[in-house]
Structure 1
């Protein structure tokens, strides 16, 4: 056996990310064995039939050789309690439990260490694991899982059912009598070893054997990986029935991570994202290579990921170490993305570049990794600085702290100030005209310019219509409506609306509903259809809806004004229209002469001060005026108009697919999504682009949804439905076809959580935040609506009863109600039980 050689920290890679602390040459290779790592200790086979235990502390005891096997050691595992610290080793001839304190004491006395034999001749062992209290041990021997009692050395249970050799087994921490095992038969099984029964058996998950598994105790999840680099996450919550949360391809995650990092570096340079990088980070070898998931372990990632971590829920989802043949990866279980990539070949002092076996453990900001060479006899122990690793691969800081809630006043050069200034400059002239009209002048007794004839000599005419002379103004009617509608505080701790109360069809024949949205006071529900119409229902879907007709194409976007008087709609015919809700008539129209490119998204902005819209790659800010004249004779001669105030072009002149901005309160930020799959944040106070998130989804985003609905304030009553902490309003969600929902935080520009449980592979299904901020609802193609808790990675409820694809969802801002819309033109109202 060669003398081990250790490398000092000064010889590590630049930045002190990784150091090779120990290197050992063994007489026999050990490419496919289960290793053990529990900082500060590592355990691995030495010379075939011996067990080596190495520690980073106390140099006289760095390497402890334990001999007792007569066949090569194939699996090693540490105990869990640490008092005393145990290590279990298994070979084809026996399974031995070692007490490390006694073994060290005997070694110092010059005696040979000895262990406790738990089982003789178990067969070919691929894995071994100690129970949570170290009183039992699970051994994967062939197609069986043997459960051994440490005290009596008896076999408590022999679990059979796998069709291939068992490759890994784990005890469930919160259900100690439960063991989960994976096998080369590509499935996992859940056992109750006390009863000796099978609780659950999964279907075949992959085309290659499952090699490893790990538990996420905080989220009650099971993670398993296979030889082809696929990773599965299952929910072990009792009501979820072993539901698959996500399936990730490690190679694709590495490619996405490297591309985003390269593009972020490019965007941080002067000139922005003019073109994607040609070579990225030279990841072609990693993408093309097979990345088997050799090991999974919990990663105690330090708080270097920004302030958003932990804000979404009290549940700490955490991260995982993934050990593979060519590198180590940190996988985030909240957003299912890689936080860091460590490739062995990037560190010039490492001796093993291709690993056959791997084990990782982390503690106190440091991680230990023990590797065995695939094509050699070397065994190496690496020490990784977690903070340095993650910090070296974070996106460049933009130098701008973004927040939906403004922290300063409007700048004099801001386009928001410009629109307000023009309005103020127009007021003196109006006042002068009014004053001029009020001046009394000398006039004859009959001073009318036109005197109506008596009509005696004229022919009587037919009465075409009788105008209503008692119609009140929009302002008076709107105020009356608001006062009549009782506002009450939205219950923050209310149960989710899951009880179906009402179902109706919006038209005689099947016509798809493209979008639905509640008004800010929760009284009205607007519904856009593909047959060119918009409908306005009462919130409880009773009564006859108001029909708004005027578009020549399918209605694509609806948006309520903050005061509830106006409804904005856009259509695929390239027009934008503003409707008077009380009069049920058109108030303002913009056609193709003003909008040469189709309008993908539009809304009221800055508490109804502006109209914000996207036309091609342009983000436009319009100052509008709606004529409220009630002259029945001249009411068709409209004087409503729009004036362009400001225009911004997206980075790379990419067409905007969706936009979102807060209209419930004053905010300077506007969020946009582009055809290039990027998200861009515009600061209209500064009049420029503030940030770009490249590669946000694998496909273009079709909807951005902000958590601002609960900030609605009833002006006439002076009270609000509900309010939340300020940082909650910095969360927003995006969705794309086939790529689930992502929850972002503006302060860090990071995806904090991902939801993938709903099928949406071919149709753009809508999403919505609940007013309490606890839930995100989404449509789906399997005739269900899904509701996620923002602190969980899987859906909490699946609402059934639909007859077609659920295209849109909307939460009422005033009470716990959820409305869903389907492709066959049906609306369903769900209420809390």
Structure 2
């Protein structure tokens, strides 16, 4: 609970160092600032240079005959260059030389590098300050920073330009944005367009910036839209993130509102309920002296109403610094009555600064100062005010303060099983030949059974008896000792999964499962990557070789479409679940399921998840709001005399429900090694972390998506690859009309969003690669379902293959493939 004193201390994060009033408005002009100086127009035609180190040190520079429209400082510090532009001249000033001439009583002068270029709206230096880009009209003029020389003219936009920036790591590449709502990537030397984007928004693009750490391009529009694109070596940009500042603000407000159940209104303070536009006037990369790896995708965005700190990797808002008082009603929380007076404690989701001279910004200029500070230069939108603000960043790290650390949660178990853990349960095997002894049995004479053999010939027909009634004809092949020995030899020669190869991009095999169009609802590779199961809509399960060659084995028995298939860890059994509310366990060489559980009389709702768990010791099954944990015993031996008596059995050891009471929509648990963590997703859009060691919910993540989550999967790795232990704490979740999110179990925070896919109505699943470097996601592209592969660390889309929504990666080196339907 924050008190008012803490709120006043936090407001010192942004301090106004300088405020000036001028004779004319300066909104929508490009201003210039650096860690030591700031420059603004004076009386339209002159430059006023302020020193931030010495507030009394100012210098006036004259040389323009027209009104100054754009200014920018150079990227270097020795010498420090300042460029100013008007309709008549583009002048470069050496700041130190100007100070020396002024102290000597000589009029300071600059170097004219451009003449009569028109109204220049934006200036940008290249890395090394050798070239300068000037945007005028629909052209970009590339000028030399030392002499008056126009190196090249870039023309190609259909509307006036708004900004242009040189790439920091490719000095001969420039990106320009325009009111035609597109951006273009230029090769400066050859004056050619390397890449041209489509129309991004209904409003003009206003700002553009580069993220050096992640090698991304970020641009923003006048209606509050922000896009981030990859900027690879071939300069073919791919969309990584798109977000709307209005929606991000609303989502953040809802999350803060749910943190406290009590909300009251307070008289005397009128909340700002007027909805204002949020044009993206300026974008600057987040930087601290103590840089964090996960802060590489953080950016500051300057809008008309304030400054926002956004994480482009997760599309989350972490800080909002408003220029005027903006207190929503729900900010007043935790009220109590001591019998005499009603007390309130202020819990502010935003920082507001009522003492600033500017309440609505028209333009921004940002740079990183010394230590953990930022210098902000802004002008008023309607008035003639200019302010210089200093933003102090916490030394301990804003990212660390915002993360919720939950060190006790981990996929890998940190301790032994508790004595009362549900995972300690054991199934007592019953002896089928054992029966209760009675008093007469002690005196009775034991007679031998009439039949001594388990198999007998049928009467007179010399044929083996029927094993099942009305069994369909299938082509299930029985395993022989020879094939088993061959498989053991193949397993011994498997090599490690390659960790340095590229993701699959070329279709290898395309196979039609049936002659008639039949949907494939699910598929899964075996642990060794040699076989693949497919669940079809015609109530059958197909077993293929991973190469999809040869004839598949067909398993039938369900009454409705098969929606779930799952392999056991030992690859001896596999499980199938259907919309008929039953799940069955099968084994190779038999067309009859070893175990069948469920039915409409036992489960009142469809089965949403079913799998083996805890190294094949348990079965997990979710139906409705409950997650069932079964102990089971499988016996596939056949007895002709007692063939209708079931030998396999399963016992319910416990059931777990969502805390909200909603239905479970997806479940994920690792079966390849011992793990206590089970993830449950509910129809209320929440994710619950279930600790099976204690049999209770360890943590909960509410409102993980905008819709109900239909798929969740963990990074399970493979026996043929090795990953760091922390990588197993990552898991993916997806929902219709929402992005695929990457979560970290240790902090229960979204660490990456994958949005470059379309998911309008069908449940599109996602999967990790065995090496942990890629993920695959389904997509609905123009009625042609496809599979898209992304790089895990950068969210960069690598390839797109035409297929359908579900997708799974192969596990071994011999199957470096991805199967999709």
TM-score by length of 1: 0.84
> Following superposition of structure 1 onto structure 2, how do residues 603-752 of structure 1 map, counting pairs within 5 Å?
603-710=611-718, 712=719, 721-752=720-751
Which structure 1 segments of 5+ residues have no match?
1-8, 267-274, 311-315, 713-720, 823-833
Name the counterpart of 2:360. 354
SS of residue paired to 2:98: helix
Q: Quick check: 1:610–1:622 contact (8 Å CA) kept in 2?
A: yes
Q: Distance in 2 between matches of 1:358 and 1:433?
A: 86
> Following superposition of structure 1 onto structure 2, how do residues 248-327 of structure 1 map, counting pairs within 5 Å?
248-263=243-258, 265-266=259-260, 288-301=275-288, 309=293, 317-327=296-306
Q: Quick check: 2:184–2:197 contact (8 Å CA) kept in 1?
A: yes
> Following superposition of structure 1 onto structure 2, how do residues 289-438 of structure 1 map, counting pairs within 5 Å?
289-301=276-288, 309=293, 317-345=296-324, 346-363=352-369, 364-387=371-394, 391=398, 397=404, 399-417=406-424, 419-420=425-426, 423=427, 426=428
Name the counterpart of 1:174. 169
SS of residue paired to 1:491: coil
Name the counterpart of 1:66. 61
Shift, 1:413, TM fit: 2.4
Shift, 1:127, TM fit: 0.7
Shift, 1:641, TM fit: 2.8
From 465, 486, 489, the counterpart of 2:491: 486
Shift, 1:391, TM fit: 4.1
Name the counterpart of 1:828. none
Name the counterpart of 2:559. 552
Q: Distance in 2 between matches of 1:556 and 1:194?
A: 57
Q: Quick check: 1:514–1:808 contact (8 Å CA) kept in 2?
A: no
Shift, 1:723, TM fit: 2.0
From 773, 797, 800, the counterpart of 1:798: 800
Shift, 1:80, TM fit: 1.0
Q: Quick check: 1:562–1:607 contact (8 Å CA) kept in 2?
A: yes
Name the counterpart of 1:14. 10
Q: Quick check: 1:29–1:48 contact (8 Å CA) kept in 2?
A: no
Shift, 1:431, TM fit: 13
SS of residue paired to 1:501: coil
Matched pairs, number: 764
Give per-residue Cα distances to partners, 1:70-122, cap 9 Å, x unaligned: 43322111101221011111122322211111223334445543322222333
Q: Distance in 2 between matches of 1:430 and 1:632?
A: 18
Shift, 1:397, TM fit: 3.1
> Following superposition of structure 1 onto structure 2, how do residues 434-445 of structure 1 map, counting pairs within 5 Å?
none
Give per-residue Cα distances to partners, 1:592-636, cap 9 Å, x unaligned: 333222221121111111111222222222222223443233232
Q: Quick check: 2:529–2:815 contact (8 Å CA) kept in 1?
A: no
Name the counterpart of 1:769. 768
Check if 1:53 corresponds to 2:32: no
SS of residue paired to 1:728: helix
Give per-residue Cα distances to partners, 1:250-284, cap 9 Å, x unaligned: 21122223333444x35xxxxxxxx89899xx999
Q: Quick check: 1:513–1:527 contact (8 Å CA) kept in 2?
A: yes
Shift, 1:544, TM fit: 2.5
- Specify whether residues 391 and 215 from structure 1 end up closer, same or farther in structure 2 by C-alpha distance, changes over 3 A only: closer
Shift, 1:656, TM fit: 1.6
Give per-residue Cα distances to partners, 1:480-517, cap 9 Å, x unaligned: 68635424232323443344433221112110101110
Q: Quick check: 1:602–1:613 contact (8 Å CA) kept in 2?
A: yes
> Following superposition of structure 1 onto structure 2, how do residues 111-150 of structure 1 map, counting pairs within 5 Å?
111-150=106-145
Shift, 1:806, TM fit: 4.2
Name the counterpart of 1:569. 576
- Specify whether residues 405 and 450 from structure 1 end up closer, same or farther in structure 2 by C-alpha distance, changes over 3 A only: same
Name the counterpart of 1:91. 86
Shift, 1:462, TM fit: 4.5
Q: Distance in 1 between matches of 2:255 and 2:480?
A: 50
Q: Quick check: 1:189–1:202 contact (8 Å CA) kept in 2?
A: yes
Q: Quick check: 2:216–2:228 contact (8 Å CA) kept in 1?
A: yes
Q: Distance in 2 between matches of 1:639 and 1:10?
A: 68
Give per-residue Cα distances to partners, 1:741-787, cap 9 Å, x unaligned: 22221112222222222333222223221111111122222343222
From 35, 40, 44, the counterpart of 1:39: 35
Give per-residue Cα distances to partners, 1:135-183, cap 9 Å, x unaligned: 2211112222222222221222233333322211111223322222212
> Following superposition of structure 1 onto structure 2, how do residues 149-188 of structure 1 map, counting pairs within 5 Å?
149-188=144-183
Name the counterpart of 1:715. none
Check if 1:450 corresponds to 2:450: yes
Check if 1:811 corresponds to 2:802: no
Check if 1:524 corresponds to 2:531: yes
Shift, 1:518, TM fit: 0.8
Q: Distance in 1 between matches of 2:565 and 2:38?
A: 61
Shift, 1:398, TM fit: 6.0
Check if 1:216 corresponds to 2:211: yes
Higher alpha-carbon deviation: 488-497 or 670-679:
488-497
Q: Distance in 1 between matches of 2:548 and 2:8?
A: 68
SS of residue paired to 2:247: helix
SS of residue paired to 1:776: strand
Q: Quick check: 1:473–1:628 contact (8 Å CA) kept in 2?
A: no
Higher alpha-carbon deviation: 623-632 or 371-380:
623-632
Give per-residue Cα distances to partners, 1:208-249, cap 9 Å, x unaligned: 211111122333332211111112223332446233333322
- Specify whether residues 221 and 341 from structure 1 end up closer, same or farther in structure 2 by C-alpha distance, changes over 3 A only: same
Q: Distance in 2 between matches of 1:170 and 1:212?
A: 9
Q: Distance in 1 between matches of 2:123 and 2:717?
A: 52
Q: Distance in 2 between matches of 1:621 and 1:287?
A: 53
> Following superposition of structure 1 onto structure 2, how do residues 494-533 of structure 1 map, counting pairs within 5 Å?
494-533=501-540
- Specify whether residues 819 and 652 from structure 1 end up closer, same or farther in structure 2 by C-alpha distance, changes over 3 A only: same
Shift, 1:353, TM fit: 1.9
Which structure 2 segments of 5+ residues have no match?
325-351, 468-476
SS of residue paired to 1:328: strand
Shift, 1:559, TM fit: 1.3
Q: Distance in 2 between matches of 1:395 and 1:152?
A: 49
SS of residue paired to 1:253: helix
- Specify whether residues 105 and 688 from structure 1 end up closer, same or farther in structure 2 by C-alpha distance, changes over 3 A only: farther
SS of residue paired to 1:335: coil
From 105, 112, 130, the counterpart of 2:100: 105
- Specify whether residues 466 and 350 from structure 1 end up closer, same or farther in structure 2 by C-alpha distance, changes over 3 A only: same
- Specify whether residues 662 and 301 from structure 1 end up closer, same or farther in structure 2 by C-alpha distance, changes over 3 A only: farther
Higher alpha-carbon deviation: 10-19 or 637-646:
10-19
SS of residue paired to 1:505: coil
- Specify whether residues 407 and 16 from structure 1 end up closer, same or farther in structure 2 by C-alpha distance, changes over 3 A only: farther
Q: Quick check: 1:12–1:19 contact (8 Å CA) kept in 2?
A: no
SS of residue paired to 1:387: coil
Q: Quick check: 1:765–1:807 contact (8 Å CA) kept in 2?
A: yes
Shift, 1:817, TM fit: 2.9
Q: Distance in 2 between matches of 1:100 and 1:570?
A: 74
Q: Distance in 1 between matches of 2:161 and 2:737?
A: 34
Q: Quick check: 2:242–2:755 contact (8 Å CA) kept in 1?
A: no
